[in-house]
Structure 1
Amino acid sequence: MQYLLMLYANENGWSQMTPAEQAQGVAAYAAYTQALKAGGALVGSNRLQNSTTATTVHVADGKSQVLDGPYVDSKEQLGGYYLIDVPDLDAALAWAARCPGASHGTIEVRPVWSM
């Protein structure tokens, strides 16, 4: 079954890190991604640009409303995702707990509803 691991964190945290801390973070995510690949769980992943680049679309009364910025203001923003294919929720939660983002943000785990 496929699960989407959505990585939420304070997107300003990266710019506040030293170059050494950034390099350590990149290495941690590279190792995690490699572990997902080696485990046969990785379907896809990507990092998102900052929420300031977001555009929000909402249709009300048949009229499209387009707004600059993210849908909600919050302390943490969606910064990236991993799409994984694992046997069950327990396996998805185990992978989420291993994600480097779990130590400085939140990982939302959601089953994908196949269409």
Structure 2
Amino acid sequence: MIGETGRLTLTEERGSLQVTVSPYGAQVEIDSEYQGETPLGISLPPGGYHLVVTHDGYEPLIMDITIYDGRTTSLVTNLTPVLMPEPPETTVPPATEAAGWWTALAGAGLLIGYRLRR
């Protein structure tokens, strides 16, 4: 482009990416380089990029995106919480009062029998 002063001015083609995910504060990497936390707006040269959005306690969002000259590519979504596995169910037989009394009675009987033999 030739300006009013007769000089040639070069402009770099740029597009933008807007990343808005819930929960806020997710970390954004583009082509394996940290770019910031959500919500995030960034200017990029046109082309394809590999996007990774992560947040503790949530599944990572991994996708390929394309940035176009003069346009904004927007990503608005919710991250999926990591499902915690259920703890294994423990099988403990129910303790009843009767079982405790029988044990105490048997122990007392053995103790009395032992003392009577002496």
TM bin (shorter chain): under 0.3
> If the length of structure 2 is used for normalisation, what is the TM-score?
0.19
> If the length of structure 1 is used for normalisation, what is the TM-score?
0.19
| Higher share in helix | 1
| Larger relative contact order, structure 1 or 2 (CA cutoff 8 Å, min sep 6) | 1
* Structure of larger gyration radius: 2
